């Protein structure tokens, strides 16, 4: 980050003050991240998100008032430009599933190393998905393994967009690589989300992995 680069503006919401202080401490150590507001419950988080419009809202799962899932749904309905990163101690698949379906951009465990959580904030800000490595495979296997949803086949271009999204490319980067506009990229992603019945990049990529379209280890399309 150069001295002129804007910092990533973050709202931090957790009902435990000590936990919040610890997260704040290591996030503040990143020169490109700035904590602009803090909340101890979900309702206050919504109020502060509306007031400050942060780049990324880092939310606990279980909070008094509105839960992290409820806050995520509210954010995606009212301020979709705000990225949402769930930071929690819960690694249960139903929680992860509910959060992804609500539209969260990332899901990290509090046990993750600080540098991984910092990178997750950066990834969410850049439009990438962030999923804790400790639960990624567990969720992929358990959430979608038993689903047999009728899926319309993806077009070749949609497959290209999905593969690049899986590698962490932003919409702008995908557009530049494929020589198409950002709006066209967004359109392809919207079609992918619809066909996969997904609400976020993370959910769409995980669905593609479970269907064998993308290799989880490499993020590349599987060859026939």
Q: In the structure, what pLDDT confidence band is assigned to residue 141 with cuts at 50, 70 and 90?
A: low
Nearest to 188 by CA among 151, 159, 219: 159
> What are phi and psi for residue 39, nearest 5 degrees?
-140, 145
Say whether both 46 and 131 belong to one domain: yes
Instruction: Kindly state the tokens that stand for 164.
Output: 């690049």
Mean pLDDT over residues 51-69, rounded? 94
In the sheet that 83-88 helps form, which strands lie side by side, from edge to edge?
A: 33-39, 8-13, 56-59, 83-88, 106-109, 130-131
Say whether both 37 and 117 belong to one domain: yes
**What pLDDT is attached to residue 201?**
83
Q: Which residue has better confidence, 176 or 128? A: 176
Last residue of a domain, one of 117, 137, 157: 137
Say whether both 155 and 194 belong to one domain: yes
> What are phi and psi for residue 103, nearest 5 degrees?
105, 15
Alpha-carbon span 79 to 35, nearest angstrom: 18
Say whether both 126 and 183 belong to one domain: no
**What pLDDT is attached to residue 197?**
81
Q: Decide if 30 contacts 58 (C-beta within 8 A).
A: no
pTM score over 0.85: no
Say whether both 96 and 203 belong to one domain: no
Residue with tokens 């269907």: 211
Mean pLDDT over residues 7-21, rounded? 96
Instruction: Kindly state the tokens that stand for 123.
Output: 């990834």
- pLDDT cut 70: percent of the chain above it: 86
Give me the CATH number covering residue 112. Answer: 3.40.50.2300
Last residue of a domain, one of 69, 104, 137: 137
Give me the CATH number covering residue 148. Answer: 1.10.10.10
> What angle do the packed helices 93-102 and 68-78 form, to 10 degrees?
20
Burial class for 57, CB neighbours closer than 10 Å (0-12, 13-18, 19+): buried
Q: Which residue has better confidence, 85 or 102? A: 85
**What pLDDT is attached to residue 90?**
85
Nearest to 11 by CA among 100, 64, 65, 79: 79
> Element (H or E) spanning 8, and its range?
strand 8-13
- pLDDT cut 90: percent of the chain above it: 53
**3 lies in some domain:** no
> What angle do the packed helices 17-28 and 114-125 form, to 10 degrees?
70
* Lowest mean pLDDT segment, chosen from 11-25, 96-110, 124-138: 124-138
**What pLDDT is attached to residue 137?**
64
Query: What value does the mean pLDDT of the chain take?
Result: 85
Q: What range does the domain containing 148 cover?
A: 144-224
Say whether both 57 and 156 belong to one domain: no
**What pLDDT is attached to residue 150?**
46
Q: Which residue has better confidence, 73 or 4? A: 73
Q: What is the DSSP string of 22-58?
A: HHHHHHHTSTTEEEEEEESSHHHHHHHHHHH--SEEE
Residue 2 DSSP label: -
Say whether both 77 and 132 belong to one domain: yes
Give the count of domains, the chain: 2
Q: What is the pLDDT of residues 151-203, one digit of tens each?
A: 577 888 998 898 888 888 888 999 999 999 989 999 999 999 888 888 888 88
Residue 121: is its pLDDT beyond 60?
yes
Residue 147: is its pLDDT beyond 80?
no
**What pLDDT is attached to residue 176?**
93
**What pLDDT is attached to residue 25?**
94
Residue 219: is its pLDDT beyond 50?
no
Q: What is the pLDDT of residues 63-82, one digit of tens each?
A: 998 999 999 999 999 999 99
Compute the Cα dihedral for 159, 80, 88, 117 and give only its sign. positive
Say whether both 91 and 164 belong to one domain: no
Question: At a CB cut-off of 8 Å and minimum separation 6, what does 163 contact?
Answer: 214, 219, 220, 221
**1 lies in some domain:** no
Say whether both 157 and 186 belong to one domain: yes
């Amino acid at each position: 980050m150069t001295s002129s680069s804007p910092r990533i503006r973050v709202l931090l919401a957790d009902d435990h003050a000590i936990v919040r202080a610890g997260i704040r401490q290591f996030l503040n150590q990143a020169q490109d991240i700035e904590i602009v507001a803090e909340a101890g419950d979900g309702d206050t988080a919504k109020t502060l998100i509306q007031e400050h419009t942060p780049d990324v809202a880092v939310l606990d799962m279980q909070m008094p008032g509105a839960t992290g899932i409820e806050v995520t749904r509210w954010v995606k309905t009212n301020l979709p430009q705000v990225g949402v990163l769930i930071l929690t101690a819960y690694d249960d698949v139903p929680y992860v599933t509910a959060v992804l379906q609500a539209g969260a951009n990332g899901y990290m465990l509090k046990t993750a190393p600080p540098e991984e959580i910092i990178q997750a904030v950066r990834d969410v800000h850049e439009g990438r998905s962030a999923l804790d490595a400790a639960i990624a495979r567990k969720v992929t296997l358990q959430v979608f393994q038993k689903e047999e949803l009728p899926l319309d086949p993806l077009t070749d271009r949609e497959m290209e967009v999905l593969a690049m999204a899986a590698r962490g490319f932003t919409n702008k980067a995908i557009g530049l690589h494929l020589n198409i506009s950002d709006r066209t990229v967004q359109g392809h992603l919207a079609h992918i989300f619809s066909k996969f019945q997904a609400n976020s990049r993370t959910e769409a990529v995980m669905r593609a992995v479970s269907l064998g379209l993308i290799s989880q280890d490499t993020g590349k399309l599987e060859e026939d």
